[in-house]
Amino acid sequence: MSTTTSTMAPPIVKEVSHAPERLYTADRAKFAENFNKRPFLLEHSLSNHPAFTMDRLHSLLERSLPIPNKVYWNAGKKRIDQRWKDRPGRDFSIEEAFRRIRETDAWIIIFGADRDPEIHDLLEQGLAEVQEMTGIPLSREEKSRQSIIFITSPHRITEYHIDKECSLLLQIHGKKTIHVFDQTDREVLTEEELESFWSFDNNAATYKAHLQNRATSFLLEPGKAVHIPINAPHWLENGDDISVSINQNFEYKNDRLANIYRANYYIRKMGMKPLPPGQSRLRDRMKGQGMRLPVALARELRELKDKMERRKS
Ligand SMILES: [Fe+2]
């Protein structure tokens, strides 16, 4: 799940810079070889960074709450295969969930945390190092970038899902295990799931318990980070302490691929079996171009609807 950084952010005054000399430590050749192909563990230098103390996170949460779509949270026991919207009832506020995070079974997400100037600088530094290690010209190839913060209760599970972003998840406090699957394994992640995901359903990936042994599992502890390729299915289980993690990610300009999946979604709806992307250059081009107008129209209609709803409220 994702949302891009808002331009409505209130100005925040930066105090002292605590920029580390280097954010990521990894074998450069292996980093480049595996990036966006398979998950891998690496090290980072932010586990004692002052931007991520509970006081600073609480202040960031308070500043984020008034901004639409910048905070998501739920609380209660969750299963690996539950959907985002299947949230257990909660009879307390997010403030209370944060204050009593040790016992509320909560999962709190702050999107666009890079509104904080220090977190912004760390995101810039981290992605500059990614660019340097991979040689990918991010400024040309990326659509958006952001930092997300996850604060989770002990033993809380993060449900199985896939993301549009290419990301690095850095563990700051506590320990948790992440299970990551191969995004190219079509038994784990089917064409139908990908078509639904890129068309309309963030929850389209379906957990298949009998394939759990195909996951690569990593123990994340402070100072460790994991790379998650685009669309690589994953789920997480927290250890017996509160967990704080930050995600540094970027989204590629991949509208064409998204449009191919969207076209395939409708082709399949009509009872035909669409050719997956990458198998016919001509068909991919036709699908990519053919979906541009309907997608643009749908976006405009969505924006118009949002505008009218904002006016009403
Ligand atoms: Fe994720």
Q: How far is CA 13 from CA 92, 118, 125, in A?
A: 32, 10, 19
Q: Tell me which of 31-40, 241-250, 282-291, 304-313 is least confident.
A: 304-313
Contact 149, 206 (CB under 8 A): no
Is residue 2 scored above 50 in pLDDT?
A: no
Q: Is the dihedral of CA 23, 26, 44, 64 positive or negative?
A: positive
Is residue 87 scored above 70 in pLDDT?
A: no
Residues of the chain with pLDDT > 90, as a percent, come to 66
- Cα(272) to centroid of ligand 1, in Å? 31
Task: Please give the domain boundaries of the chain with CATH numbers for all domains.
Answer: 24-196+205-253 (2.60.120.650), 256-312 (no CATH)
- Cα(307) to centroid of ligand 1, in Å? 29
For 16, half-sphere exposure in the C-beta direction (CA atoms, 13 angstrom radius) is 4
If you average pLDDT over every residue of the chain, what do you get?
Answer: 88
Is residue 6 scored above 90 in pLDDT?
A: no
Rounded CA separation 49/243 (Å) = 15
Is residue 273 scored above 60 in pLDDT?
A: yes
Rounded CA separation 259/271 (Å) = 19
- Cα(264) to centroid of ligand 1, in Å? 24
Q: What is the pTM of this model?
A: 0.86
DSSP string, 16-70: -----S-SEE--HHHHHHHTTTS-EEEEES-TT-GGGSHHHHHHHHHHHTTSTTS
Among 125-129, 259-263, 286-290, the range of highest mean pLDDT:
125-129
- Cα(140) to centroid of ligand 1, in Å? 24
- Read off the pLDDT of residues 60-82 as tens digits, 9 standing for 90 and up: 999 999 999 999 999 888 889 88
- At 157 the pLDDT is 94
Contacts of 120 (CB under 8 A, 6+ apart): 114, 147
- Cα(311) to centroid of ligand 1, in Å? 33
- Cα(162) to centroid of ligand 1, in Å? 6
- Cα(134) to centroid of ligand 1, in Å? 22
Contact 51, 121 (CB under 8 A): no
Is residue 226 scored above 80 in pLDDT?
A: yes
Is residue 293 scored above 70 in pLDDT?
A: no
